[in-house]
Structure formats: C-alpha cells, structure tokens
Chain A
Amino acid sequence: MTKMSHAEALVTAILDSMAADADVVLLGRPLGLGPQRMLMSRLTDRFEDRVYDPPVCEAGNAALGVGAAMAGIRPFVDLSTGSFSFLAFSQIINEAAVSNYMTAGKIPVPVTFHCLEGVRGGGAPQHSQNIHAFVWNTAGLEILAPSCPADMYGLTRAALASNNPTFIMNHAKLMAVEGDVPDDRAAIPIGKADIKRRGKDVTIVALSLMVGLALQAAEELAKEGIDVEVVDPRTLAPLDEETILASVARTGRLVVVDETNMQGSIASGIAGMVAERGFRSLKAAVQRVARPDTPVPFSAPMEAFLLPTHETIMAAVKRTLV
C-alpha cells in the first residue's frame, strides 16, 4: 500500500495509463485550482507533447475528445468545474453516448470525461452543481464516482482502458483526502460495487463524498449497538444492482445517501430499484438522504443547512429501525 491523496491517485493513474498506451492524451488540467494542481508537472515533465491546454470552451473541448476518440485515440477530457459541463452536454450525451449504438458497434468512442463536481464550499449556485444525476439518465455512458484514492486510481485506469465513453465524477472536496492505494496498480472493473463496511442491521448506499459521511455515521451508530453496512456503488452506470439487493436481503433496511438534490437523484433511483426488485426483503420504508430541491447558496450557514451530514444519515438509519 502507498498513502496518497485523491489528486495524487488521479495523476498517478493518468501517468500509468499514458505510459501503457501511446494513444492516451490529456486535454486540459484535471486538478482544479487548489495546491494539488502543482502535481500536473509529473504529467507535463514526462509527456509534454501529450498534454494540451485547450481554450476556455467546454463544448469545443468535449467535441475534440469525442471526435478524436471516434478516430481511434483515447483522450482524457477535463471539463474543470462540474457545473460547466452543462455546456458540453450535447457532446457527451448526444454524440459520445450514442455513437456505438447508432453504428451497430462500428464506431465506439473511448473518451474519458472528468470534472470536479458537487458542493465545494462557497461555490454559490453556479459552481456547486452535482451533475452525476443529470448524466445518469444517459444510456451508453459509463459513470464513475470514486470515494477514496484506491478507487480513484483503479477506476481512472479502467476508464482510460474502456472502449466506451466514461465520465469520472470527482468530488471537489475529496482532492486533498488521503488514503492507501494498492501497489499492484490494477484497474477496478467498471460495474462492481464495493462494501466499505460490513454490518447486519441496516444498509447504507452512499457514493462519492457521501461514503465518508456514511462510514462516520456507522461508527457513531456502532456505539449505540446498531451495526451498519456501507455499500459504495463506485460506478453509477452500469449500476451493480445485485450487490445492493444482496445487502438489503441481509439487513432488511435501506438508507440511500446522495449529495445532489432529491428530485431525480441517485437516492431516488436506487430507492425505486430496491422497492421493485427487493420489496420482500424490506422490513421498513426506504429512507432517502439528499439535499432539499433548491440551488446551493453562497453563505456558509445556508449552504451547510442543505447538506447531508453524518447526523442526518444517523437519523435516517434510526427511522428504519422504528
């Protein structure tokens, strides 16, 4: 194991992918505006001619990656702040995701999109969007949401090796968070959930930044004698429904946590899936933890008021035990 931050895991994965495949190119700088951005030199030092700095044009940059992928190379397209990726939705959703389908498999699109999404703190409405739920409604796109450096590394390697368009939803608040990354430097299969904590009383399904909060809630609840299992889907599409259903079959209770607002959230989608496919396992109503349906305000106390916390997750767990 090697301890590294999310940002370092991302850079290491891109570096290893570029070394493994000369067709991997980087369009943009995926490390944001924080101090982690200095890690970019590891990429530019070694692969100066394969790291490009596009103009400020999300649609043009996304189309560049999609067209290049149709022509057979593997671009990693950074869309910077997730909120800006709306400008590139036509390229992501209406070009990349449909090409393999509408050519009967003759023109796959091995492009990887990446953004720093979510409520980053003080971002105000236009820099705080969670976009994974918008994108989740797209058929033909693999959507990855890593919650720890090990998954960041393995899923990025998988994305850059996939023949499908992939979208890495990286949470802005995770970039500095550290964790252990296995030294085998292997890709993590797309479509496989991971049980982050074993437990027998209640299942929490959480993704991305919410996994850490769910684990914190589980530790607190353990002190009260409540044994929680935390399932991290890791990839939203394809979704590992079987691992979620098997966990609910063991616990009989489900809480789903998503940072985005409730309407059309992952929490809602997974709750619906379990209601249909796992109804006989359920001993209590499924609880959803997500933001109220508002934009995200700038002012810190208002922003904090809207966000899921380990306390709101604990309360939801207890509601399943009433």
Chain B
Amino acid sequence: MSAHLSQDARWRLFETMLLMRRFEESVAKMNVEKHFTGHYHLYIGQEATGAPAISLLGPKDSLSTTHRNHGHVIARGADPGGALAEIMGRATGLSGGRGGTIHLTDASLGFLSTSGVVGGSISLGVGGAFARKHRKDGSIHLALFGDSALEEGVAFESLNIASLWKLPIVFLCENNSADSWDRSRGGYTTLTHAANDLRSIPGALGIPSRRVDGCDVEDVHEAMAEAVEACRAGKGPMFIEAMTRRWAGSAPLWPELSTGVTDLRMATGEAAIEGEHSAWYAQNDPVLKLARELLGEGAGARERIFAIDAQVTARMQAAERFAIDSPMPAPETALQHVFA
C-alpha cells in the first residue's frame, strides 16, 4: 500500500463506503418488501471510486450524478433517512418524493438536479462548471457518470465546450462494464462504443485523461487529488476513467441482492468464501478489499471494523424506520412546484 492516504483518511473512507453499501442493501430490502415499486439502480461495487473522489471536494464545489446516484449522494453527506424516504416516494424525502431513485439529489450539498437521461451528468455538469468559473472563487465541478454516457452525442458537444473554455471540471467516468451481461443475455445495458479506449474521446479534444483502478481507493484518490488541484489552478478540465467491476446484482435488468448482505467476516477470515460469487468476495468487492487492507493497520483494527459496522448498521436501521414511518405525500400536492 502506498503512503498517499493517511491511516485516518483510510478509516474515514471505510466508514463512508460501508454506509454506501449498507444503504444500498436497505434499498434492495425495501424493494423486496414492496415499500416502493419501479426500476432502480444500485451503486454496489463502485464505492472505492465514488467515496475517495467525493471526499476531495470542498463545500463550494458542485457535482452531478446519474441514475446510479445513491452512493454519490450518501458519500457527499446526505441524510440516509431522507434519501431512503425519497426513494420510497415519501413526503419526507429529500425532494418530497417527487424525484425518487432516478433523480435523487441534495441541493444543499451542491448537487445539480440529477438527470435520468444518459449523458445528462456530463452536459449539465459542464454548465455547473461554467457557473463555478463565473463565481471566480476557485470552486470546481465533479461530473460522475458511467461508460455508456460517452455514447451520447451531447457528451461530445459538452466535452468540447469544457475544453475550449478551460472549465474547472473533473469528468469521472465509472466504467462498470467489466463482468456485465449484454442485452442478449437479458442483462443491463453495457458499453457499445467503437472507441476501444474511452480516454481517446476526451483525448481528441485535448483533455488530459488517465485510467485508474476503480476498486482501489489509493489509486482513485491519488488521481482525483491531482485532477482537483489542476482544475482549481485553472488547468481544467480533467478526465479520469475508473475501471470498476459490474457487481453481479447489477448485471440483470432488475437489480437483485445476489451476493447477500455484506459479511465483513469474509474480510477477517472468520467466514468462509465459497459459491458462485467467491471471486467477487475474494477480489472484487471494494468494501471487503479495504477492510482487508485495514486489518494490516495493526492491533485493534478488527474490533474497529466491527465497531464501525455496528454504528453504520444502527444508522441504517433508524433510516429504514424513518422512511417506513413517513407519510406518503398528499395526492393533490402533485399540482405544486410546477413553477418556482
């Protein structure tokens, strides 16, 4: 392990990543228990990208995300109860239940409106970066999106504008096509692009771009720190492609908690790793991977891991109770907020 991240920083990231994970496990549970209906997307498997990237933002920075947004919103510090209530269409949700899972956002944390249109995080994000530059306060924008966003035409237009006007924006592409199923297997959409190296797309427009291991918090953090610093210094935009793995539960069209509730004893060696997902548990799960690394921090690490999990789990239990107990919006309020 390199020395880029301090011990403290690694522990904080672990806590954030575990909260992101437990949050998604709650979402899946709420869906199975029919507390909400409709399609949704889980962030499981990409925690080691979103958590370190978002941890580098300051309070004035803005960000934009996608349909796979839950992890980003939680990592930035949104209230898990309000976020879960939004996903469940409750009046107490972050947006009063009007946006739901696809449009989860928290304006108070600098998020733009979350677009459910593929490519929206890039194109609206460039607008966010334009506003940041207009403010002249050194703030930047982080656009988080998946690999398929680069199939959309507007992505190319927006990358061009960002490069021409040297906008302070980090484009963070979370490439999660590895291990995905394609449409012919009944799976969720995966990358369908003639460019065999996505970095060549921003590269053609003069945007510096690099590829990192999206399952490695050190790698992501180091690249992101460099990109953030460059953008703050007026040397933006920057592009990072983080190579993550498609979590098995996100491979089919409808998500399922195929790997079960994360058992941290698989990291400590106290639970056996077996079955069809053993490669995931042993190598690819970013939360288990970081837990294993933290065990090397010395005496007390094991106890600290389980203590953090107990806290996070209690927090999510409270969030679930809050969301389930929250009222649905009054139907006639559907007529409100058409105009500001």
Contact = CB atoms under 8 A, between A and B. Distances in A.
Interface residues of A, number: 45
A205 B337 CA distance: 29
B98 A73 contact: no
A100 B120 CA distance: 16
Nearest to A96: B113
A163 interface: yes
A173 B339 CA distance: 31
A60 B158 contact: yes
A141 B112 CA distance: 18
Residue from the set B62, B158, B338 with the largest chain A CB neighbour count within 10 Å? B338
Interface stretch (A13-21, A102-110, A208-216, A255-263): A102-110
A95 B117 contact: yes
Contacts of B98: 101-104
Contacts of B54: none
Contact of A101 (B115, B126, B131, B337): B337
Given A59-B153, A101-B338, A105-B340, A67 B128 contact: yes
B113 A64 contact: no
Contacts of A99: 113
Contact of A57 (B62, B141, B160): B160
A317 interface: no
B157 interface: yes
Contacts of A63: 120, 123-124, 126-127, 154, 157-158
B107 A107 contact: yes
Nearest to B111: A107
A93 to B, nearest CB: 11
Given A55-B161, A103-B107, A70 B339 contact: no
B123 A71 contact: no
Nearest to B107: A106
Interface centre among B123, B141, B161, B336 (most CB of A within 10 A): B123
A94 interface: yes
A54 interface: yes
Contact of A140 (B127, B129, B158, B339): B339
Contacts of A105: 337, 340
A64 B123 CA distance: 7
Given A70-B113, A102-B98, A102-B99, A57 B127 contact: no
Given A25-B134, A57-B160, A63-B158, A68 B128 contact: yes
Contacts of B103: 102-103
Interface string B260-294: 00000000000000000000000000000000000
A75 B105 CA distance: 22
A107 B108 CA distance: 10
B310 interface: no
Interface in A73-99: 73, 75, 90-91, 94-95, 98-99
Nearest to A108: B340
Nearest to A104: B96
Contacts of B153: 59
A133 B69 CA distance: 35
Nearest to A191: B339
A61 B134 CA distance: 16
Interface string B83-119: 0000000000001101100010101100011010100
The CB with the most chain A CB atoms within 10 A, among B134, B339, B340, is that of: B339
A100 B129 CA distance: 20
A142 interface: yes
B165 interface: yes
B130 interface: yes
Contact of A70 (B96, B117, B124, B161): B124
Contacts of B117: 90, 94-95
A105 B134 CA distance: 24
A88 B165 CA distance: 20
A271 to B, nearest CB: 24
A70 B340 contact: no
Given A64-B130, A71-B62, 11 more contacts: A57-B154, A61-B157, A63-B158, A65-B127, A67-B128, A68-B130, A70-B113, A71-B131, A100-B338, A101-B338, A103-B103
19 contacts: A60-B126, A60-B160, A63-B123, A63-B126, A63-B157, A64-B161, A67-B124, A67-B128, A68-B127, A68-B130, A71-B62, A95-B117, A95-B120, A100-B340, A107-B107, A110-B340, A142-B339, A163-B340, A238-B339
